[in-house]
Amino acid sequence: MGSVSSSSAVAARFTGRTVTGERPLSGALTEVGLDDGRTVVVKLADAPGAARAEAAGLRWLADAGTVRIPAVHGVDGRRLVTDRVAQGPSSAGAALRFGRDLAGLHAAGAPSFGSAPPGGPEEAYIGLAPMRNATGDDWPRWYAAHRVLPYLRGAVDAGTVRTGEAADVERVCERLPELAGPAEPPARLHGDLWNGNVLWGADGHVRLIDPAAHGGHRETDLAMLRLFGCPHLDRVLAGYREAAPLAGGWEGRVGLHQLFPLLVHAVLFGRGYAEQAVTAARTALRHAG
């Protein structure tokens, strides 16, 4: 079977329905129609284990009962079958609801920083990059060791970040205990919360897709939303802060939390993101005095 017919077969198997049609959405995504009128999406993951990690993350996020998550029908090897999201326009009202729901998701918590979703592998992914879910109880030390320094080393090895620039990022990691703000409990993070993974539903509710879910600091999800832009972000933040106020000085810590996704992008996509990461590190050091 080719990849399209294989997608239909796995969709039929996990939903128990007859396939009535299919439409490729991209090289990795196929939309499959079912005989009961529903439509599902079959995603072909980029690496072995990535589909299982994504399925576990989606289920863990859905278990919080807050932000809406497409239902997972099953995972088979590199293929993941989920409900299709009927999309509509973004709106200020939906953004406000999303902010409140995101606060609820974070408050659902995690056993520790770096904890994988139940059933999820320790060796997971963020986009195309490997992401190891090693655990820790102290956020600054865990964040440096498992979310910043591994990608910094990868960027240095690739020549994307220069040695002198890397020293500034390392200094931020050394000073994280004083830069991180008040201690927070582990939050249940989406983990890859850029605008492309925020779908504005036709019913006025946001759905989240493609997580790199793990236990982390709630400000990391918010910083990632700001990094790549999000419609009505001011309303998202207003809804969030209404439901769960943020610790004082959170706006000054945005760059610290953006180091992780920026370095991931530097490893994957090159020098432009490396420059942004170095700028974020140097800004954090200047603010620290």
Helices (H), ranges, 118-193: 139-143, 149-157, 163-179
pLDDT band of residue 289 (cuts 50, 70, 90) is low
Q: Identify the pLDDT of residue 43.
A: 96
pLDDT at 167 over 60: yes
Instruction: Give the three-state DSSP class for 4.
Output: helix
Q: Can you name the residues that pair with 42 across neighbouring β-strands?
A: 30, 81
pLDDT at 268 over 60: yes
Mean pLDDT value across residues 152-156: 97
Phi, psi for residue 74 in degrees, rounded to 5 = 165, 165
Q: Identify the pLDDT of residue 47.
A: 84
Does residue 171 contact residue 150 with C-beta atoms inside 8 Å?
Answer: no
Q: Can you name the residues that pair with 81 across neighbouring β-strands?
A: 42, 74
Q: Identify the pLDDT of residue 4.
A: 42
Q: In the chain, what percentage of residues exceed pLDDT 90? A: 91
Q: Which of 76, 83, 137, 192 is catalytic?
A: 192
- Tell me, yes or no, if 101 is annotated catalytic: no
pTM of the entire predicted model: 0.94
Q: Domains, the chain, ranges and CATH?
A: 3-83 (3.30.200.20), 92-288 (3.90.1200.10)
Q: Identify the pLDDT of residue 141.
A: 97
For residues 114, 120, 123, 126, the Cα torsion angle rounded to the nearest 10 degrees is: -70
pLDDT digit string, tens, across residues 56-106: 999 999 999 999 999 999 999 899 999 999 999 999 999 999 999 999 999
Q: Tokens 């200020």 label which residue?
A: 92
pLDDT at 46 over 90: no
- Separation of alpha carbons 236 and 239, rounded Å: 5
Query: In the structure, how many helices (H) and strands (E) does the chain have?
Result: 10, 11
Q: Identify the pLDDT of residue 285.
A: 87
Mean pLDDT of the chain: 94
Q: Identify the pLDDT of residue 286.
A: 84
Q: Are strands 187-189 and 214-216 parallel, antiparallel or unpaired?
A: antiparallel
Q: Identify the pLDDT of residue 77.
A: 87
Beta-strand (E) ranges in 25-133? 29-34, 39-44, 72-76, 79-83, 123-126, 129-132
Q: Identify the pLDDT of residue 110.
A: 98
